[in-house]
């Protein structure tokens, strides 16, 4: 449908209008790749309409890394996102997927390997990117974050509520793209490795392998299952405080809580409105230490379980 896939080039200009008509641009480097006839198939049309947006996001992805100085490397990222979007029309392409996919393109030389690694990762994360007119994919996680801060740091939670920030919308980006903007490239990868290992549950993993079982009941207490689980998941299953099977109380939520706790004093003292909260949290971009954040997240997790049990 689009010969540019696999060619080492990418599309950054619209190739088709919303009514399916080809867009001609004789001055564009895209000449020769453009759609030649009107598109009537709605699935094909919606996909074609997304291709240039994927391209625009790709050329902005991790621009500080020398890897993306080469167009063919940018094109590999574009290829994977374009093919994923075609295969998953129910969710399509959402900005931020490029941040999740980029490390796989960099680390895995084979494009097919990178695609399947991204595809499996998105089985775990895709709900983060699902949005409707009334809700966002990460909204439930934000609710859990609110519950955690209210439990472990009621003063900070009260302050944020007074600033009309009790829904924690300022934390959306951290959860959607799993701290790719808040931590350095290597620290973000450290976080991913650590979080996913500690959250491992063989039953949950099976549900990721079979998407139709994604919402199945996996909170078993079988000793054999417990032994195989990661440390974080095992504590939840033993505590009886919360079933981790809904995937909303991930370790990532506690890492966000740890980030808020590191800025506790500034938020309480300086934040007079939500803009101040956003600015204070924006100052941390690329300056956080992943190991310290992880240690603090696990400390908060212990405190949350302890207090929740008492309540």
Listed ranges 72-81, 227-236, 240-249, 291-300; the one with the highest mean pLDDT? 72-81
pLDDT for residue 117 is more than 80? yes
The reported pLDDT for the residue numbered 136 is 72
What is the signed CA dihedral for 134, 135, 140, 142, rounded to 10 degrees? -100
**Does any domain span residue 183?**
yes
pLDDT for residue 42 is more than 70? yes
Percent of the chain clearing pLDDT 90 (strictly above)? 56
pLDDT for residue 107 is more than 60? yes
Separation between Cα atoms, residue 50 and residue 15, nearest integer Å: 10
**For 199-289, where are the alpha helices, taking DSSP H only?**
202-209, 223-228, 231-239, 251-262, 264-270, 274-282
The reported pLDDT for the residue numbered 267 is 95
Q: What is the pLDDT of residues 1-39, one digit of tens each?
A: 788 899 999 999 888 899 988 887 644 554 445 677 888
Q: Please report which confidence band the pLDDT of residue 311 belongs to, taking 50, 70 and 90 as the band edges.
A: confident
Q: What is the pLDDT of residues 157-216, one digit of tens each?
A: 999 999 998 899 999 989 999 999 889 999 999 999 998 888 887 776 666 566 554 444
**Which tokens in the block code for residue 243?**
């079933």
* 269 in the same domain as 174: yes
* 78 in the same domain as 174: no
* 189 in the same domain as 50: no
pLDDT for residue 55 is more than 80? yes
What is the signed CA dihedral for 180, 185, 189, 195, rounded to 10 degrees? -40
Listed ranges 105-119, 214-228, 296-310; the one with the highest mean pLDDT? 105-119
* 95 in the same domain as 3: yes
Does residue 247 or residue 20 have the better pLDDT?
20
Q: Contact, 53 vs 93, CB < 8 A?
A: yes
Q: Contact, 16 vs 49, CB < 8 A?
A: yes
* 126 in the same domain as 144: no
The reported pLDDT for the residue numbered 299 is 94
* 60 in the same domain as 183: no
* 173 in the same domain as 66: no
pLDDT for residue 279 is more than 60? yes
Name the domain boundary from 71, 102, 130.
130
Domain that holds residue 154: 139-199+250-310
CATH code at 53? Answer: 1.10.8.270
Number of domains in the chain: 2
The reported pLDDT for the residue numbered 82 is 97
* 160 in the same domain as 20: no
* 184 in the same domain as 99: no
pTM value?
Answer: 0.85
pLDDT for residue 138 is more than 70? yes
Phi/psi at 9 (5° precision): -120, 170
């Amino acid at each position: 449908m689009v010969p540019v896939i696999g060619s080492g080039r990418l599309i950054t200009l619209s190739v088709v209008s919303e009514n399916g008509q080809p867009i001609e641009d004789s001055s564009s480097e895209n000449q020769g790749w453009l759609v030649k006839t009107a598109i009537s198939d709605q699935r094909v049309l919606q996909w074609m309409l997304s291709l240039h947006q994927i391209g625009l996001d790709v050329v902005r992805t991790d621009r500080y890394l020398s890897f993306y100085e080469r167009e063919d490397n940018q094109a590999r990222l574009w290829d994977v996102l374009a093919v994923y979007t075609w295969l998953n029309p129910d969710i399509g392409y959402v900005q931020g997927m490029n941040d999740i996919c980029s490390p796989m393109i960099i680390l895995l030389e084979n494009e097919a390997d990178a695609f399947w690694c991204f595809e499996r990762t998105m089985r775990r994360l895709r709900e983060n990117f699902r949005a409707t007119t009334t809700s966002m994919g990460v909204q439930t996680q934000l609710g859990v974050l609110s519950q955690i801060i209210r439990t472990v740091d009621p003063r900070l939670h009260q302050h944020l509520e007074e600033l009309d920030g009790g829904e924690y919308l300022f934390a959306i980006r951290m959860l959607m793209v799993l701290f790719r903007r808040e931590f350095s490239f290597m620290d973000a990868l450290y976080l991913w490795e650590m979080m996913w290992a500690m959250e491992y549950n063989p039953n949950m993993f099976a549900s990721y392998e079979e998407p139709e079982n994604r919402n199945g009941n996996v909170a078993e207490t079988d000793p054999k299952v417990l032994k195989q689980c990661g440390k974080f998941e095992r504590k939840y299953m033993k505590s009886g405080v919360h079933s981790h099977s809904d995937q909303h109380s991930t370790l990532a939520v506690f890492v966000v809580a740890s980030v808020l706790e590191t800025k506790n004093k500034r938020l309480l003292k300086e934040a007079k409105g939500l803009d101040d909260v956003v600015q204070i949290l924006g100052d941390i971009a690329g300056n956080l230490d992943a190991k310290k954040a992880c240690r603090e997240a696990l400390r908060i997790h212990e405190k949350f379980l302890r207090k929740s049990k008492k309540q």
